Homo-oligomer: A and B are copies of this chain.
Amino acid sequence: MSAPVAQLDRAADYESAGYVFKSRRARPNSVQIVATHFIWEMRRSCERKSMHITDKTRFFMTEALKEAEKAFAEDEVPIGAVAVYKNQIIGRGHNRTEALQDPTAHAEILAITAAANALNTWRLTDVEIYTTIEPCIMCAGALVLARVKKIVFGARDEKFGGCGSVFNIVNEKKLNHQIEVVEGVLGNDAVLLMKEFFKKKRNRRG
């Protein structure tokens, strides 16, 4: 089966946004050594942005990345999220748009639905969301509706991001709730996973 049009669109989108991706699993050659150097520069940049990453933040983002890896294994755009309440994961989600053929089955939507189910309330006022890629416009809207306390994400989504990239929904004063946002946490790992996914998609189509 050929790659879904939307996913290839996103691949093109990510490239046009200036990401220079490289597979983590490919063997190095001279071009790749240059690319690797670039990636280390990106990693340093990410780390500069998030100098004060705590062990807690790193732990939960690593769990979100595990969810993203599950999506990757299932041939879905590899984005993962976890919902955290009182330092415990109460909801997990990874992108399942293709498996469920549901445009709303994003990682964050699934994670907050699971969290609401766990707490038996739709008001997630003390819940923090860790997600590998900036929540999209739909997910950002859902996070405001759910009154989520804090969003921690890895890398920006320049084409559909709702936390500053295209719109800043989570910090709009006209709305009745604003959310604290921390970005750049293990962002390099999130981006590399995306790059590897879209490269695989293109190769399959080619």
Q: Is A137 in contact with B140, judged by CB distance below 8 angstroms?
A: yes
The residue in chain B whose Cβ has the minimal distance to the Cβ of A13 is B176
Residues of chain A in range 90-112 having any CB-CB distance to chain B below 8 Å: 97-98, 100-105, 109, 112
Closest to A109 in B: B104
Q: A166 in the interface, Cβ–Cβ < 8 Å? A: yes
| Residues 122 to 159 of chain A near chain B (Cβ within 8 Å) | 122-124, 136-142, 144-147, 159
Q: Does A9 have its Cβ within 8 Å of any Cβ on chain B?
A: yes
A147 to B175, CA, bound (A): 26
CB atoms of A141 and B162 under 8 A apart: yes
Q: How large is the interface on A (under 10, 10 to 19, 20 to 34, 35 or more residues)?
A: 35 or more
Per the bound structure, the CA–CA distance linking A5 and B121 in Å amounts to: 12
Are A123 and B176 interface neighbours, CB within 8 A?
Answer: no
Contacts of A157-183 to chain B: CB distance below 8 A: 159-160, 162, 166-167, 169, 172, 174-176
Pairwise interchain contact B116-A146, C-beta atoms closer than 8 A: no
Considering only CB atoms, which chain B residue lies closest to A148 in the complex?
B103
Asked if residues A136 and B145 are in contact (CB atoms below 8 Å), the reply is yes
Asked if residues B140 and A122 are in contact (CB atoms below 8 Å), the reply is: no
A28 to B167, CA, bound (A): 46
- Complex CA distance for A162 and B103, rounded to whole angstroms: 17
Query: Which residues of the other chain, B, contact A145 by a CB distance below 8 angstroms?
Result: 103-104, 136, 138, 160
Q: Is A113 an interface residue (CB 8 A)?
A: yes
- Write the nearest CB–CB distance from A45 to chain B, whole angstroms: 24
- From B124, B160, B167, B175, contact of A103 by CB (8 A): B124
